[in-house]
Amino acid sequence: MKICVICDKKPLVGNSIARRGLSKKTGGIGLKTTGITRRRFMPNLQKVKIRFPNGTIRRVNVCASCLQSGKVTKAPVRKKTETQAAG
């Protein structure tokens, strides 16, 4: 699902309005609506590894605004040991 696990941000629904004509401001007769279709505004979700307060580390979807505001503590990068690098 396209939902942020921190703030529960999810897709919003709106309209895409197609218009024709020249606006009155620029000397025309005005814009006429020729069609209205539904559209969805998706949140900017990033898949990141985060550390939860109980200590577990999971890869989850988090929105960019939660990442920028510091509501999330990212999991530390694991260093490769010699046995992992060789194998």
pLDDT tens per residue across span 7-28:
999 999 999 999 999 999 999 9
Confidence (pTM): 0.69
Which option is the CATH number for 12-76: 3.90.550.10, 1.10.443.10, 3.10.20.30, 2.20.150.30? 2.20.150.30
Domain segments of the chain as ranges: 12-76
Residue 6 burial (10 A CB sphere; 0-12, 13-18, 19+): middle
Q: What is the pLDDT of residues 29-80, one digit of tens each?
A: 999 999 999 999 999 999 999 988 888 899 999 999 999 999 988 888 888 8
Chain Cα centroid distance, residue 66:
10
